[in-house]
Amino acid sequence: MKHLIDEHFLDKIGAKYTYVKSIPIKEIDIKTSIENPARMYRKLNKQRAEQYAYEMIGGDEFPAIVLLNHEAPHDGMKWIIATGVHRTDARIQAGITETDAYLVTEPDAYRREVIIRMLNITVGEGMNMEEIFAHLLWLNEHHGTALAVLAKEWNVKLGTLTNAAAEQRARFLARRTGYNFEQAKVGSTSIIYLGGIHSDPVFDKAVEFVCTYPGIRVDEVKDMTGEIRKSREESAQLAIVEKFKEAADKRLAKGRSIKASNRPSKITKIARWLKTLSNQLDCPMKDLHVASYDDMQTLLYIIENASEAIKRLRGEAERVQRMSQPPSQAQPDLRKGGTRPDTRPEARP
């Protein structure tokens, strides 16, 4: 069955092709086709092909596959599949020996790559944006095609493609130096900013900083890389990274100091426990269900020890309170029969 979308694409790029109703599958190099470069992350999905096979046996029609002339024909195999690996495998599973196809003759290596990669967007399982960007960056690296040209051909935003290129470069260079952005929990935005650093020593130092210092924010990475881009001297760029490291050191030291000062002391914890105990006891005894406790003897032992400890704590708290008050404000312990001192001035004789 003819496929107008594929025909439109082939016409648009000026490809030379012919539609044939039947071509022997034995003339197709299946092994090479399964390694289709359009499938960078996924190869043949056997379950999908099996489903296609059932549908073909049931009489369903499928679009014609697109075949590209084999660069090195051998053993009677003249074609490789530009798009349609799953449909071809399904025909083999269904016992079908022939297929209709568009036969494309293209000698230019770059155009062959584009045909194979772009056709898989229009039909079949398709590609996600991650795969599309991977293809564009591969074409940029191996064929030197400008990102602006690729963005226009593939109808993607140049800025997004440029960011993808920066991120890919940063990930590659970071792996080379032994750093893992995922393990260090560095986000994509920060990685893109780092990818804009062109000096390898500066990049290595910046990645070390971002990956080893906890809590580095995106805005910090943005400010650091922005200052680096404005500076022309590598020594000055390294000094910028060092400056941000020193600022992070001060922030971490301050954070540790605050954390240490806020760490509750033992008496603070005891006061909290006593408050909780008081809240629990501030209810009728019947609501405590004391009789339901299994080991009453142990409970009485714990209560006795706790009572003695609380008495000692009370005595210490009263002592500290007396010491902290001025002598004129010191209050006697009236519970023990003490009397308030006469603070009036003595009468003169």
Pairing of strands 77-83, 16-24: unpaired
Is pLDDT at 193 greater than 60 in this prediction?
yes
Whether 122 has a pLDDT exceeding 70, the answer reads no
Angle at 26 between CA 20 and CA 27, to 5 degrees: 55
Q: Using only C-alpha atoms, what is the Rg of the chain?
A: 39
Closest CA to 245 of 207, 280, 282: 207
> Taking residues 10-23, what's their average pLDDT?
90
pLDDT of residue 97: 94
pLDDT digits (tens, 9 = 90+) for 251-306: 888 777 665 555 667 888 888 888 888 888 887 887 778 888 888 888 888 888 88
Total domain count for the chain? Answer: 3
Residue 78 has φ and ψ, to the nearest 5°, of -110, -15
Instruction: Report the pLDDT value the prediction gives residue 129, as an integer from 0 to 100.
Output: 66
Task: Examine the fold and report which residue of 261, 284, 300 is the final residue of a domain before the chain moves on.
Answer: 261
Q: Which residue has the higher pLDDT, 269 or 245?
A: 245
**Unique residue bearing structure tokens 């312990």:** 333
Judgement on whether residues 249 and 300 belong to the same structural domain of the protein: no
d(CA 255, CA 24): 72
Among candidate residues 186, 106, 158, 168, the one with its CA nearest the CA of residue 131 = 168
Same domain, 16 and 107: yes
The pLDDT value given to residue 225: 93
Give pLDDT, residue 341.
Answer: 52
Judge if 279 and 252 occupy the same domain. Answer: no
pLDDT exceeds cutoff 90 at 232: no
Does some domain include residue 75? Answer: yes
Q: Domain check: are 271 and 208 in the same one?
A: no
* Residue 53 placed within a domain: yes
Whether residue 20 sits in one domain with residue 52: yes
Last residue of a domain, one of 243, 261, 279: 261
User: Average pLDDT, whole number, for the chain?
Assistant: 82
Same domain for 119 and 67, yes or no, is: yes
Same domain as 91, residue 24: yes
Q: Report, as an integer, the average pLDDT of 205-228.
A: 91
Whether 231 and 312 share a structural domain: no
Sign of CA dihedral 255, 261, 262, 266: positive
pLDDT of 81 strictly over 60: yes
The helix or strand, by DSSP H or E, that contains position 106, with its residue range, turns out to be: none
Q: What is the CATH number of the domain that holds 55?
A: 3.90.1530.10
348 within domain boundaries = no
Over residues 125-138, the pLDDT tens digits come to 555 666 677 777 87
Give the single-character DSSP code of 346. Answer: P
Is residue 32 one of the residues assigned to a domain? yes
pLDDT for 222 equals 93
Can you list the alpha helix ranges (DSSP code H) found in the chain?
Answer: 4-12, 30-34, 46-57, 85-93, 109-122, 129-143, 147-154, 158-176, 188-194, 200-212, 218-230, 234-261, 266-281, 296-324
What predicted TM-score, i.e. pTM, was given to this entire model? 0.44
> What are residue 16's DSSP bridge partners?
105
The pLDDT of residue 347 is 47
Is the pLDDT assigned to residue 162 strictly greater than 60? yes
Cα-to-chain-centroid distance, residue 325:
58
CB 140 within 8 A of CB 164: no
Indicate whether 165 pLDDT > 70: yes
Neighbouring CB atoms inside 10 A of 134's CB total 17
Q: Please report whether residue 136 resides in a domain.
A: no
d(CA 76, CA 65): 19
Dihedral pair phi/psi, residue 299, rounded to 5°: -60, -45
Q: What is the mean pLDDT of residues 314-322?
A: 87
- In sequence order, the β-bridge partners of residue 17 are 104
Whether 120 and 30 map to the same domain: the answer is yes
88, 81 contact by CB (below 8 A) = yes
Do 202 and 96 share a structural domain? Answer: no
* Final residue in a domain of this structure, among 246, 261, 276: 261
Residue 28: inside a domain: yes
Determine the pLDDT at residue 66: 93
* 274 and 191 inside one domain: no
Residue 188 sits in the same domain as residue 245: yes
Q: Is residue 76 classed exposed, middle or buried when 0-12, 13-18 and 19+ CB atoms within 10 A define those classes? A: exposed
Q: Domain of residue 42: give its range.
A: 4-128
